[in-house]
Amino acid sequence: MLSYFIRRFLLIIPTFIGITFLCFTVTRFVPGGPVEQAVLRFQQAAAQEGEGGAGSMGSLDKRGQISEEMMQKLKEIYGFDKPFYIAYARWLWRVMHFDLGVSDTYSRPVWDLIKEKFPVSIWFGLTGFLLSYSICIPLGVWKAVKHGSLFDTLSSVFVFIAYSVPGWTAGVLLLMLLGGGSFWNVLPLGGIESTTITHDSILVGYLLEGGKVSDLPAEIRSQHPNLKDDQYINSNHPAFQHLPLDRRARLATGSHADLTGFGRFLDKAKHMILPVFCYVLGMFASMTVLMKNSLMENLGQDYVRTAFAKGLSEKTVIFKHALRNSLIPIATGLGHMLSLILAGSYLIEKVFNIKGFGLLGYESLIARDYPVTLGILVIGSLLKLFGNIFSDILYCIIDPRIRFS
């Protein structure tokens, strides 16, 4: 079995090279890349300058096309001046040294952008994953026990409706229903925290004590030049202690940073309800049906009939014997926790404007920001490859009958 996993780890290398080479090649030949977009921006800027823009117009020929010299410079800037296989070899060499390049859109290292977005996507993905397991496993068990009953029929209708509706589509409908669109305004439209808390918000009672900057002594205001006189600060600001006692009061409005610890928790929880529901919806149907079918299959095995013949209670047979074996295909899915940050988050994060890993990938694809797109591809493909191996390891641990020799 050790040799099997050694081979699996070694296979990661050619698989990773195949995935990245194919996608890298596509970025070199698909139209509308960064060079074409840079040319379009340059032509638009030159057209706006008109006859007065002699400096820019000098790089255009009589037909208004960019000169060959300028085109070559743009290709060098974006790395398109070499054959695609040489460019790929150079890119792969940088990746092996943990250098994913610099974003064309943000002009920042790709690593820095990805590290900023990781915590947000992991938090949403992990929450959705845990909720889906905690809901779908008991529901699947109960459906198997009550197979053919009214509860099983009605829950199956709901399960298959959920299966037919994509998570991001459900998100749009829920925002219209609960986000203040056409019906009720009970949940925020998106984001991960409130930017403005008004007097009619339920969070206004959790605002911190604060005061106006203009009430601070002049020498204290000079120490904080970024503060404006008409601005308010909360009790967490270092200058708050210098406010006169009679000028301190609970803030009437504010933002997420002005809330107490429990208030910030409630604010984030409100913003998580709809996105996490859409995450769970994507795994809800398949997980529930898998749990039900797996348990029903085990309930028909000989060892279950033997257990009943020995006089064991139904509860003991189901939960102590059949359920343990039925959890094997469910538990092996834990290996894919490594790829939670990519769990259908592209469109869900776009719908709810969540500044996470998925939205970064979506915007990079739209803007043809290939360094970021390829950087996300590197992270995503490695997580998938290692997650599959981890699933096999869990399968061996859970089921001793499995041998990969």
Mean of pLDDT values over 146-155: 90
Domain ranges in the chain with CATH number 1.10.3720.10? 111-184+263-398
Q: What was the pLDDT predicted at 110?
A: 92
CB 350 within 8 A of CB 168: yes
pLDDT at 283 over 70: yes
Q: What was the pLDDT predicted at 188?
A: 86
Structure confidence at residue 64 as a pLDDT band (50, 70, 90): low
Mean of pLDDT values over 338-364: 78
pLDDT at 54 over 60: no
Phi (first) and psi of residue 370, to 5 degrees: -65, -35
- Is 64 strand, coil or helix? coil
Q: Kindly report, residue by residue over 171-209, the tens digit of the pLDDT.
A: 888 888 887 666 788 888 888 888 888 888 888 889 999
Structure confidence at residue 124 as a pLDDT band (50, 70, 90): confident
User: Please, what is the Cα angle at 10 between 6 and 15, to 5 degrees?
Assistant: 140
Q: What was the pLDDT predicted at 52?
A: 46
Mean of pLDDT values over 315-320: 86
311: Cβ–Cβ under 8 A, 6 or more apart, which residues?
A: none
Lowest pLDDT segment from 33-37, 64-68, 357-361, 395-399: 64-68
Structure confidence at residue 374 as a pLDDT band (50, 70, 90): very high
- List the 209-212 sheet strands across, edge first: 232-234, 209-212, 249-250
Q: What was the pLDDT predicted at 53?
A: 46
Q: How far apart are CA 156 and CA 381, in angstroms?
A: 34
- Is 212 strand, coil or helix? strand
Q: How far apart are CA 121 and CA 64, in angstroms?
A: 45
Residue 358 half-sphere exposure toward CB, CA atoms < 13 A: 25
Q: What was the pLDDT predicted at 266?
A: 92
Q: How far apart are CA 289 and CA 329, in angstroms?
A: 12
Q: How far apart are CA 235 and CA 369, in angstroms?
A: 42
What does the mean pLDDT of the chain come to? 83
DSSP 8-state symbol, 67: P
331: its two tokens = 């538990």
Task: State the greatest distance between any 2 C-alpha atoms of the chain, in Å, as a whole number.
Answer: 97
199: Cβ–Cβ under 8 A, 6 or more apart, which residues?
A: 252, 253
Structurally, at CATH architecture level, domain 111-184+263-398 sits in Orthogonal Bundle (1.10)
Q: What was the pLDDT predicted at 27?
A: 86
The 10 Å Cβ neighbour count of residue 272 is: 20
More confident call, 81 vs 227: 227
* pTM score over 0.85: no
- Most confident stretch, 32-41, 72-81, 367-376: 367-376
Q: How far apart are CA 260 and CA 203, in angstroms?
A: 10
Q: What was the pLDDT predicted at 142?
A: 92
Q: What was the pLDDT predicted at 38?
A: 76
Q: How far apart are CA 269 and CA 276, in angstroms?
A: 10
